[in-house]
Chain A
Amino acid sequence: MAAAREQGSFGAQWRWLSWVLMAIVAVAVLVIAATGDQGPQSDGERVSELAATIRCPQCRGQSVAESNVTIAREIRADIRTRVAAGESDDEIRQVYIERFGRSVVLTPDATGFTGLVWIVPVVAAGMALAAVSLAFQRWRAEAAEIAEATDEDRALVAQLRAEREQT
């Protein structure tokens, strides 16, 4: 309805222009945003970020960053020393994997059996998408088969409605 009001040739052009402009601005913003992304701004913040990916071995499902039990505090202090010594994030995580086992890292492995936790949802999503598009294809085929309503159809509908109104 609103479209009908502004169907002058100038209006139509302007509308496309508006969307093109939008796309340009959006892409520009995203490019600037992506390139300007900074990591942690200080060693202290890097420690916090790293600690959030390591499970506290003595707690119930908390990360080292979240917990305040002794071992969590010790690990945080240890991470701080290692960060100051210039070790990389992966090196530091590896130290804890060797000490406490694989379960100390909150990010599951992407390889082997554990990798399934990453792959299965993607496969499931793909299958769901395929199922939905198949359904739409079938519906489209069905719609193509069904011809326009005949007078007979209309009569049947009218009859049924009349019956329903009576009851």
Chain B
Amino acid sequence: MNVALGDAGVVIALTASIVGAITIIVAQRSGDERLLRTGAKVAWLVVFGAVLSFVALERALITRDFSMRFVFENGSHRTPPLYNFATAWAALEGTLVLWGLVLAGYLGVVLTKFRTRLADPLVAWAIVVMLAVCVFFFGLMIGPGDPFTRVIIPEGFVDGPGPNPLLQNNPLMAVHPPMLYLGYVGFTVPFAFALAALITGRVGEGWLVETRRWTLFAWGFLSLGIVLGAWWSYDVLGWGGYWGWDPVENVSFLPWLTGTAYLHSVMIQERRGMLRVWNLSLLCATFSLTILGTFITRSGVLESVHAFSEGSIGPMFLAFFGVVSVVSIGLIGWRGDRLRAPGRIDSPLSREGSFLANNVLFAIFAFVILLGTVFPLIVEALRDERISVGVPYFERMTMPVGMVMLFLMAIAPVLPWRKASGELLRTRLEWPAWIGVGSMVLALALGGRGFTALLAFGLAGFAGGAALRQIVLATRRNGWRGLVGRTNGGMIVHLGVILVAVAFAASNSYLRQSEFTIEQGETIEFADSTFRYDGIEIEDRSEKRVTAALVTVDGQVLRPAINQFAIGTTIGTPDTLGGFTRDIQIALIALPDDNGDAVVIRVTTQPLIAWLWIGGILIAVGTVFSAFPHRIHRRPIDPVSVAPGGSATGGALPTDEPTPVGAAESA
């Protein structure tokens, strides 16, 4: 029943994607508006099919329908309800269903939002591109990644193994993957509009303004997903780590970097009409990096602690990545003449100049991470040697880039468009710079040492000051409205990123970690705290046995535990004494042989971990604020974009806020 239901959903979605795309293309050709509307209706069937397949999967999991292979391999009567629900994305085939659901969701929103503008070729082609992406994913679910296959239940079968124990040990399992997918998949929408602009030749600014908010939406969820992933790692892994430069983390970070670069450089295009090829490339790169990332993590070519599902679909993703790249590059090349924009940036010391610098930095950042991630593969392929590229490499290489980025974050927000004078910088940057110096002095007074750490704090203070300056000026002028809009919301995001950077620098520089063998009743001192081991506490649950060591830290009891799952896997759960300025985390490394014997614990102390999570919240809040319009906005596609019949030079004119020739710079 569930298998049939799920299969039906996938077949409906796949058929509807193909039929819908063809219908819309034909309607485009013939100019038949009724056919166009039919195409859109067919596209809604994709949404229906995706929902149906997801419901079927959940239904099978909840009813423990072991005749479905997915449930047979990943389900269990012992799994608690929340984790059982989340089991849908605990293995490869299920993640495809989730991907399909999110993709169809975005398709549905696009169809709703643009229902009155289907006749616009740009919108129609964007829907076609989205449907084409749907064809790939639902095609996978029919072919090599089919979640809905039957299995003959062997005799004497009582219960399945349940999901990977690491995935049923923390409630974030229910939140982090969907967030990440909302981010990943969300980049499909701007990508679709970018391709549509190339196909229709409407490479003017209209499509771009239309997709900026979609990009922001996807970017916000991706940021949230990454931060939640860091939180989860921190809560689970037990060595104080939240970011390990692991391949899976890196590939989720790559589209974030290119997406961030786009959100900045798009403003140059809106304002000056420049960098069209670059912006289109960034959007295409962001989308194809999500596909490449899925390939890397799903094919098993790279080893990762977070890769929970591998299968034979890796090559499919690689092929799809190839197709996306070739199509994007081909289209950009084909429309090259329309993309060439006149105009120039007058001075590196200007808003647009700093956005350009920002993009160079983000590109370098992404390049370093991509190179470091795939380099072991390159070496193995070319030289047949095995090497590892790990944390020390990434920290050393990204640190200078990060520093320059912080510096830029300090300078850029005070820069006017076109050209800034030294005098203006001196005035506007004075207080931010004092805040930077102040943070350094404060850090030194609090005992902070180390050149890089202190430099990072100084630059972070500087950048934070610049962001605060903008927010203060804007709120003084406009009241609460000074918090919303692209620039002001963006500054809140900056503050969040700065907090994360400070937390990153502080926790890496001042991490203190050591292992102790500790007898019952014994007290040890470490990193200005005392630790006393008081004994063992055992709790039996349906899916696991939890053995916790009671450790009293500065008067508070922590319970680091080891979970022994029924299927035989053992996983630790550290316990953390969190604070605004310092976290103490204890992991239980080894259980005592006998009750009353010594245990081995690992103590990790790190400052400012809480700032990571506060920074994450600020990023989310800032993203929402910057999505709110500062002013009443117009519909950008209709009046602004140059008609397809317009001449090539006409299409290349910057149309947003044209600056009269010779107009004096007033800012």
- A residues contacting B by CB (< 8 A) are 2-3, 15, 18-19, 22, 25-26, 29-30, 32-34, 36-38, 41-42, 44-45, 47-49, 52-53, 55, 59-63, 65-66, 68, 73, 76, 101-109, 113-114, 116-118, 120-121, 124-125, 128-129, 132, 135-136, 138-139, 142-143, 148-149, 153-154, 157, 161
Contacts and interface: CB of A to CB of B under 8 A. Distances in A.
Interface stretch (B206-214, B298-306, B496-504): B298-306
B449 interface: yes
Interface in B304-330: 304-305, 307
A89 to B, nearest CB: 12
A138 B348 CA distance: 13
A62 to B, nearest CB: 5
A108 B451 CA distance: 24
Contacts of B81: none
Contact of A108 (B304, B393, B436, B660): B393
B237 A107 contact: no
Contacts of A61: 246-247, 302-305, 390
Given A29-B454, A36-B449, A105-B388, A3 B424 contact: yes
23 contacts: A3-B423, A3-B427, A26-B436, A26-B440, A29-B440, A30-B454, A33-B444, A33-B454, A34-B451, A37-B451, A44-B514, A55-B388, A55-B390, A102-B386, A103-B387, A106-B391, A114-B379, A120-B371, A125-B364, A128-B360, A132-B348, A149-B661, A157-B660
Contacts of B357: 132
A154 B589 CA distance: 77
B238 A68 contact: yes
Nearest to B304: A61
Interface string B238-252: 110100101100000
Which 3 A-B residue pairs are closest in the complex by CB-CB distance?
A106-B390, A44-B514, A139-B344
Contacts of B246: 61
Contacts of B360: 128-129, 132
A65 B303 contact: no
Nearest to A107: B392
Interface of B: 237-239, 241, 244, 246-247, 302-305, 307, 344-346, 348, 353, 356-357, 360, 363-364, 367-368, 371-372, 375-376, 379, 382-383, 385-393, 397, 423-424, 426-428, 430, 433-434, 436-437, 440-441, 444, 448-451, 453-455, 458, 512-516, 572, 587, 589-590, 658, 660-662
Contacts of B393: 106-108, 117-118
Nearest to B661: A149
Given A26-B437, A120-B371, A103 B449 contact: no
A101 B68 CA distance: 44
A3 B428 CA distance: 9
Contacts of A52: 391
Contact of B427 (A2, A26, A116, A135): A2
B405 to A, nearest CB: 13
A92 B439 CA distance: 38
Contacts of A38: 449
B351 to A, nearest CB: 15
Contacts of B302: 61
Given A22-B437, A34-B450, A48-B514, 16 more contacts: A3-B423, A15-B430, A26-B440, A30-B454, A33-B440, A33-B450, A59-B305, A61-B305, A62-B305, A66-B244, A101-B386, A103-B386, A113-B379, A113-B382, A114-B385, A120-B371
A22 B515 CA distance: 42
A109 to B, nearest CB: 7
Contacts of A29: 437, 440-441, 444, 454, 458
Nearest to B588: A68
A22 to B, nearest CB: 5
Contacts of B449: 32-33, 36-38
Contacts of B436: 26
B462 to A, nearest CB: 10
B389 A117 contact: yes
Contacts of B247: 61
Contacts of A36: 449
B589 A103 contact: no
Nearest to B404: A125
Given A2-B427, A37-B450, A132-B357, A53 B392 contact: yes
Contacts of B386: 101-103
A65 B344 CA distance: 51
Contacts of B367: 121, 124
Given A61-B246, A63-B390, A108-B389, A117 B433 contact: no
Given A15-B426, A19-B430, A60-B303, A26 B390 contact: no
Nearest to A56: B305
Nearest to B360: A128
Nearest to A154: B661
B598 to A, nearest CB: 15
B565 to A, nearest CB: 15
Contacts of B441: 25, 29
Nearest to B383: A113
B397 A60 contact: no
Contacts of A107: 390, 392-393
Contacts of B397: 118, 121
A153 B437 contact: no
B659 to A, nearest CB: 10
